[in-house]
Amino acid sequence: MKPRPHRAGASFRLSSAVEFASVFARKARRDLGWIIVHAAPNDLGRTRLGLSIGTRVGKAVRRVRVKRMIREAFRLVRCEIPPGMDVVVSARSHPDRPLADYKHAIVEESKRLAIQLKLKDARRE
């Protein structure tokens, strides 16, 4: 089997409610209307993804498609996101969008949130 360099396995995902709660508690978020990106720093040295896709997005088939698009976008752009962040992506009901839109939203908003988190931490010191 060939190695998969961009593979994003379970170690790159948020799974427990505690992990999600810690990201939401930081209150660092960017809202694009159709997608919301939340972020918080972690001590792992790698960026992890969490998904929060509610029933308002659509029925199960639609929600699964949105999740797949977000996961694939994250897998492809993971190396462009600042390391050591937990990123939770929430989606609202929106028409189908190309993969490039998801990739752009995740990368750009994660970078902005990393800067925002650094500024908040600098103020605390």
Position 4 in a domain:
no
DSSP-based helix, strand, coil % in the chain, nearest 5: 50, 20, 30
* Sign of the dihedral defined by the CA atoms of residues 108, 95, 92, 65, in that order: negative
Position 40 in a domain:
yes
Which pTM value belongs to this model? Answer: 0.85
Position 9 in a domain:
no
pLDDT (tens digit per residue) in 72-107: 999 999 989 888 899 999 999 999 999 999 999 999
Position 125 in a domain:
no
For 36, the domain range is: 14-119
Longest CA span, the chain? 49
pLDDT (tens digit per residue) in 13-67: 888 899 999 999 988 999 999 999 999 998 888 899 999 999 999 999 999 999 9
